[in-house]
Amino acid sequence: MRGKFDNIVATVGDTPIVKINRLAPDHVTMWAKLEAFNPLGSVKDRLAMGIIEAAEASGELRPGQTVIEATSGNTGIGLAMVCAAKGYPFISVMVETFSVERRKLMRFLGAKVILTPKGAKGLGMVAKARELAEANGWFMARQFENPANADVHEHTTAREIMSAFEGERLDYFVSGYGTGGTMTGIARVLRAERPETKIITTEPDGAALLSDGRAQERREDGSASGSHPAWAPHMIQGWTPDFIPLVAQESIDNGYIDEVVPVSAEASFSAAQALAQQEGIFCGISCGATFAAALDVAKRADAGSVILCTLPDTGERYLSTPLFADIEAEMTEQEWQMAHSTPTAQLERS
């Protein structure tokens, strides 16, 4: 995608699908769709565009009306970008545990950020956003229930995948879920047009809601009425809130999911670092997690299998998180020795 665009929102989507060359087992072919190429660096730019444009079209969102959303960060950053470009004030409500980079990015884009206590979990931030929307007559994006979420993936992400793999094998599609928009939107199209493609989802091993199998309790509007009993706090930001979102529920109810692969935080961090250091693909924690699950599938797959995974965002969003905990800021012993092996511009050790 190159050339001229009417505005930044028009650059959302059409992200590249890149071959995994050094980390893929020899007997398979692996591809990754890099959502970091969206203008604000994540898959959620698509959702932001989809929800705002659907609400504009239906008249639910009026010119200049304030937009509010409960978000783990990337949705807020995407909405802040779309709202800035289209002239809507935007307020993001997020749990205090999400990375500081996310808050600062949203504020830089002109948004207001309201933090909620971690004890109140994901549902606490949703309840706060709903309350503020009702009290002030603001438009709430409702990413966990809004049909425009999976729709935008059905109409953009899935179409991009269909055209990239037209006439070619695609044996496995691997995706995690936060709202489930990516998974459900793509699964709708794969099930209709590529029924042979196995759909694999993945979730944190310590918050394995889908693997658990117990149903999510809901209100009449489809929103979750309480935390799922299998949930526990986990390190994979953007994945698996403390409830099964209605958007993800569609994939369960329609039998779209062939297998659920649980992934640990450690496997996610090391897969993200391996992608960076051996493929040059710089991405975030949920990308590492998705790729770890895709590798697990790859190892078990028949020879010649083709595996595609979606990598939701960029690693730059995690500098203050445990993803970078082992990354030194100071020179190592080996670097000191290199620096002192020639005479010019040597630092003195303190």
Instruction: Kindly list the residues in this chain that would bind ligand PMP in the complex (CB under 6 A).
Output: 42-44, 72, 74, 176-183, 237-239, 284, 286, 312-313
User: For residues 309 and 33, what is the distance between their CA atoms, to the nearest angstrom?
Assistant: 6
Task: Spell out the residues 6+ positions from residue 111 whose beta carbon is closer than 8 angstroms to its own.
Answer: 76, 79, 80, 83, 90, 91, 92
Decide: 11 and 1 in contact? Cβ < 8 Å.
yes
Q: How far is the CB of 312 from ligand PMP (least distance, A)?
A: 4
Nearer to ligand PMP, 88 or 98 (CB): 98
Nearer to ligand PMP, 243 or 305 (CB): 243
Q: How far is the CB of 347 from ligand PMP (least distance, A)?
A: 37
Maximum pairwise Cα distance, the chain: 73
Helix axes 265-274, 285-300, angle to 10 degrees: 90
Q: How far is the CB of 144 from ligand PMP (least distance, A)?
A: 8
Q: How many CB atoms lie within 10 A of CB 11?
A: 16
Catalytic residue list: 44, 286
Nearer to ligand PMP, 28 or 77 (CB): 77
User: For residues 198 and 33, what is the distance between their CA atoms, to the nearest angstrom?
Assistant: 17
Tell the residue number behind the tokens 């979606």, with chain if given.
Answer: 310
CA gyration radius, the chain: 21
Nearer to ligand PMP, 146 or 182 (CB): 182
Q: How far is the CB of 317 from ligand PMP (least distance, A)?
A: 8
Q: How far is the CB of 113 from ligand PMP (least distance, A)?
A: 16
Name the nearest CA neighbour of 110 among 76, 73, 136, 71.
76
User: For residues 56 and 83, what is the distance between their CA atoms, to the nearest angstrom?
Assistant: 12
Phi and psi for 224 in degrees, rounded to 5?
-70, 140
Chain position whose Cβ is nearest to ligand PMP: 238
Q: How far is the CB of 47 from ligand PMP (least distance, A)?
A: 7
